[in-house]
């Protein structure tokens, strides 16, 4: 019997929600331990199943891992690599596992990495990771579902022009280039805050990198990196998700640690929809202005555009907006799987390829719904907050990969929801 979350809709939300460290930043920072034989300490880590999976993968390679302060501080030491193979049994659980490829190649000159798994939201191929590392002198071939990579004589600096601003490939290439001989220039680099955070950490470890946050990053290879302590940047997707909560349910909530610069495009859309967002000395305060939400059009784009990871939550908000909104998904092709579930709650949504047209309704109605992926899970819970009656969200195991203590955080601002399964409730 899997977990379900039962939501009783209709109440306004008031209070504050602490925002965790970013999952996607932490999952990138953890493999950086492979670049040095000295300890790396990460603070403000989120407490998520994906973090435990990455720790399991690193431990299988020989990393010593300790979790402290209720999981918010992670200590990693890779002074002795005992394996260079990232096994399918671990990698299949999470796409970010492929981020061990660049660091292993850079430090050990060899790596065998299984092709990854993760959410079923479309093709996310490894081509750009491979072509970038091959430009630096690696030879990589796919055999039996594993990438066999080797860099005889070590990696060498190169000019790499990415065909697409891939976040994962940017991270893999930047980490690998820190120990390569000479200078690497990565053009059409991804600009996400998680990459800026990774570079801050690598710089603290002794790397020489310039241009992070722009589309061209220059890395001057060094002989060796050393240990460091680094705080994980706050999670902009968790931040945006909880900003939707008072917008959809009514009330006023302060998101502790929130920063507007991390999600400016999202904040602009909320403002256009009639939601007030204010930077405070503790975070961001969010409240619905007057009356019903207004429909706004949204197109997902790579950073600094509107994040694909907030599209499902925005769709939930648009379901009760006044007017018609069009959501265009340009990043992942299977990202509207939550639409039929929202329609079970009375939403009017018409999906055509990469476009979803949402005609706002006065009220959503509670219904049994099923989560299909991580962001879809939370969008259904948000919709449940605004719906009349009871919403039962099934298959919520996806949530634990990306949101820590969802039920506790939402109950803390007055939401009426609970997590149920045979013999247990929310942690």
For the stretch 247-271, what's the b/e string if a residue is b when 16 or more beta carbons lie within 10 angstroms of its beta carbon? bbbbbbbbbebbbeebbebbbebbe
At 117 the pLDDT is: 52
- Report pLDDT digits (tens) over 310-338: 999 999 999 999 999 999 999 877 789 99
The residues, ordered by sequence, that sit 6+ positions from 336 with a Cβ below 8 Å of its Cβ are: 315, 329, 351, 356
Residue 118 has pLDDT above 50, yes or no: no
- Report pLDDT digits (tens) over 42-71: 999 999 988 999 999 999 999 999 999 999
Residue 122 has pLDDT above 70, yes or no: no
The whole-angstrom distance between residue 190's C-alpha and the CA centroid of its chain comes to 14
Residues 133 and 253 in one domain: no
CA angle 336, 339, 341 (to 5 degrees): 130
Binding site: what residues are annotated? 23-24, 95, 124-128, 309, 331
Q: Would residue 332 count as lying in a domain?
A: yes
Residue 119 has pLDDT above 70, yes or no: no
At 53 the pLDDT is: 92
Residue 125 has pLDDT above 70, yes or no: no
Lowest-confidence pick of 88-92, 180-184, 243-247, 344-348: 88-92
- Report pLDDT digits (tens) over 196-241: 999 999 999 999 999 999 999 999 999 999 999 999 999 999 999 9
Binding site for UDP-N-acetyl-alpha-D-glucosamine: what residues are annotated? 95, 124-128, 309, 331
Residue 123 has pLDDT above 80, yes or no: no
Express as a percent the part of the chain with pLDDT over 90: 84
Residues 39 and 181 in one domain: yes
**Enzyme catalytic residues:** 119
- Report pLDDT digits (tens) over 373-415: 888 899 999 999 999 999 999 999 888 888 999 999 999 999 9
Q: Would residue 177 count as lying in a domain?
A: yes
Binding site for phosphoenolpyruvate: what residues are annotated? 23-24
- Report pLDDT digits (tens) over 272-301: 999 999 999 999 999 998 889 999 999 999
Q: Would residue 426 count as lying in a domain?
A: no
Report, as an integer, the average pLDDT of 168-195: 97
Q: Would residue 63 count as lying in a domain?
A: yes
Cα separation of 294 and 182, whole Å? 53
At 409 the pLDDT is: 97
Residues 271 and 354 in one domain: yes
Is the Cα dihedral 129, 131, 136, 139 positive or negative?
positive
Alpha helices by DSSP H, listed for 4-85, are 23-29, 49-60
Residues 193 and 243 in one domain: no
Q: Of 205, 231, 257, which marks where a domain is finished?
A: 231
Residues 336 and 198 in one domain: no
Tell me which residue of 268, 318, 329, 267 sits closest to 295, measured CA to CA. 318
Report, as an integer, the average pLDDT of 102-110: 97
Residue 271 has pLDDT above 90, yes or no: yes
Residues 344 and 331 in one domain: yes
Q: Would residue 147 count as lying in a domain?
A: yes
Model confidence band, residue 351 (pLDDT cutoffs 50, 70, 90): very high
Residues 9 and 110 in one domain: no
Residues 13 and 40 in one domain: no
Domain count, the chain: 2
At 93 the pLDDT is: 82
Q: Of 231, 248, 279, which marks where a domain is finished?
A: 231
Residues 357 and 340 in one domain: yes
**366: containing domain:** 4-20+235-420
């Amino acid at each position: 019997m899997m977990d379900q979350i039962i939501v009783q809709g209709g109440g306004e939300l008031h209070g504050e929600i602490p925002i965790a460290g970013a999952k996607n930043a932490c999952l990138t920072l953890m493999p950086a331990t492979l670049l040095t034989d000295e300890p790396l300490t990460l603070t403000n880590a989120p407490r998520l199943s994906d973090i435990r999976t990455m720790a399991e993968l690193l431990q299988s390679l020989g990393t010593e891992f300790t979790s402290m302060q209720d999981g918010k501080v992670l200590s990693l030491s890779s002074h002795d690599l005992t394996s260079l193979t990232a096994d399918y049994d671990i990698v299949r659980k999470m796409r970010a596992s492929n981020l061990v490829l660049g660091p292993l190649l850079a430090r050990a000159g060899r790596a065998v990495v299984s092709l990854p798994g993760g959410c079923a939201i479309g093709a996310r191929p490894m081509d750009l990771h491979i072509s970038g590392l091959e430009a630096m002198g690696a030879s990589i071939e796919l055999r039996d579902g594993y990438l066999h990579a080797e860099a005889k004589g070590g990696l060498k600096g190169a000019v790499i022009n990415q065909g697409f601003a891939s976040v994962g490939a940017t991270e893999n290439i930047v980490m690998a280039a820190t120990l390569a001989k000479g200078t690497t220039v990565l053009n059409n680099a991804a600009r996400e805050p998680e990459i800026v955070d990774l570079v801050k950490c690598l710089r603290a470890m002794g790397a020489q990198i310039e241009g992070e946050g722009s589309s061209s990053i220059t890395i001057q290879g060094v002989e060796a990196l050393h240990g460091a302590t680094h705080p994980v940047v706050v999670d902009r997707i968790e931040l945006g998700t909880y900003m939707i909560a008072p917008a959809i349910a009514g009330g006023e909530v302060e998101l502790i640690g929130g920063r507007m610069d991390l999600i400016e495009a999202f904040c602009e859309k909320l403002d256009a929809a009639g939601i007030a967002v204010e930077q405070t000395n503790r975070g961001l305060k969010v409240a619905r202005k007057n009356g019903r939400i207004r429909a706004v059009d949204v197109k997902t784009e790579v950073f600094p555009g509107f994040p694909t990871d907030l599209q499902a939550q925005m769709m939930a908000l648009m379901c009760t907006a006044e007017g018609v909104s069009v959501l265009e998904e340009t990043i992942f092709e299977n990202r509207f799987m939550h639409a039929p579930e929202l329609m079970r709650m009375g939403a009017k949504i018409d999906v055509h390829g990469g476009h979803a047209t949402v005609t706002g309704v006065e009220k959503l109605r509670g219904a049994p719904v099923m989560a299909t992926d991580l962001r879809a899970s939370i969008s259904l819970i948000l919709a449940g907050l605004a719906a009349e009656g009871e919403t039962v969200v099934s298959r919520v195991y996806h949530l634990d990969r990306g949101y820590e203590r969802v039920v506790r955080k939402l109950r803390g601002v007055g939401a009426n929801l609970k997590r149920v399964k045979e013999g247990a409730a929310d942690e």
